[in-house]
Chain A
Amino acid sequence: MTVNERAVWATLITFPLVGAVYFAVVLTRAAEMPVDEVSWVVPMIWAMGLLIGMVILGTIAASIATAIAAEARGETAELEEGDVRDKQIELLGDARAYQLSGFGGLAAIILLMVGAEPFWVANTLFLSGILTGMLAAGIKIRAYRNGL
């Protein structure tokens, strides 16, 4: 498994987790008070930081675990760098997921047209970003397992 593939797995696990926690926090706040008083900015900055940080840490942890497991079996760990195939899979996943992010942008523009609260617009965009990231990771995992 290459470093890129581990990062994709880390994304596939991190995005739904962080997304679920973020929306649980923000939506419970929104249920308790008017949405224009909900402070969503700080939680979202945290969530974005966690998305990036956890993918990096997850990738490193997975690499270390692989190395330890290989040592335990008395083999040398194979930690491959990415190659042309990784690059192609990366392109494919991001390209195909792009269409979903287009719908998110359109939904946000329509919300802005009808004068929705910034809270709903920003969270629609954030949700579509999380879903796009998950879709891209899913397409990449499928390509890793079933070939391009």
Chain B
Amino acid sequence: MEFSQRHTLVGTAISIVAMLTYLTILVARAVTDGLPLAEVAWQGPMLWCVGLGGALYAVAFAVMRAQHRGQRVSDERTERIDVQAEFAASGITGLAVLAAIVMLALDVDAFWVANTLLIVSWLGSLAGAAVAIDAYRGGLDK
């Protein structure tokens, strides 16, 4: 498996695990403390999950890059896949920003605004990853 395909798969796995961990912590806190979901302290878990997920990805990237030392890791094809994946993600992330602005205009609680931004942007990156993974499996010019 080539480098860019591997780091996409590993990055996607890490991002799904980090997000599920974050959501589990939120729900667990709400249930064990008997609080409504929106009153749970979400700031700490979000920072930890995003920070640890990012750090784990950076380490995994560095290790995989070292294994491919001395090889060309990007070419015209991986560039094109990259652009298509980011394009798919950019559309959904744009929607996340617009949704957050509308929620702020309607004075929605910060909990919901922040989590909408995080989760919809995450879904965007997931859509991008799906496009990339599909393209690596030979579907670029379908």
B-contacting residues of A (Cβ < 8 Å)? 41, 44, 91-92, 94-99, 101-102, 104-105, 108-109, 112-113, 115, 118, 121-122, 125-126, 128-129
| Chain B positions within 8 Å of A94 at CB level | 86-87, 90-91
The reply to whether B86 and A126 contact each other, CB–CB distance below 8 Å, is no
Known contacts being A112-B114, A115-B110, is A125 close to B90, with CB within 8 Å? no
Contact flag A126-B101 (CB < 8 Å), given A95-B84, A109-B118, A113-B43: yes
Q: Which of B20-28, B57-65, B92-100 contacts A (4 or more CB under 8 A)?
A: B92-100
Docked-complex contact A101 and B93, CB < 8 angstroms: yes
B107 within 8 A of A: yes
Interface size of B by CB at 8 A reads 27
Q: Which of A92, A96, A128 contacts B97 (CB 8 A)?
A: A128
Q: Report if B16 contacts A (CB, 8 A).
A: no
Residues of B85-133 at the interface with A, using a CB-CB cut-off of 8 Å, are: 85-87, 89-91, 93-94, 96-97, 100-101, 104-105, 107, 110, 113-114, 117-118, 121
Interface contact B84-A108, CB-CB below 8 Å: no
CB<8 Å pairs between A and B, sample of 23 = A44-B105, A95-B83, A95-B86, A99-B86, A101-B97, A105-B96, A105-B97, A105-B100, A105-B117, A105-B121, A108-B100, A109-B114, A109-B117, A112-B110, A112-B113, A112-B117, A113-B43, A113-B47, A113-B114, A118-B104, A118-B105, A125-B104, A129-B97
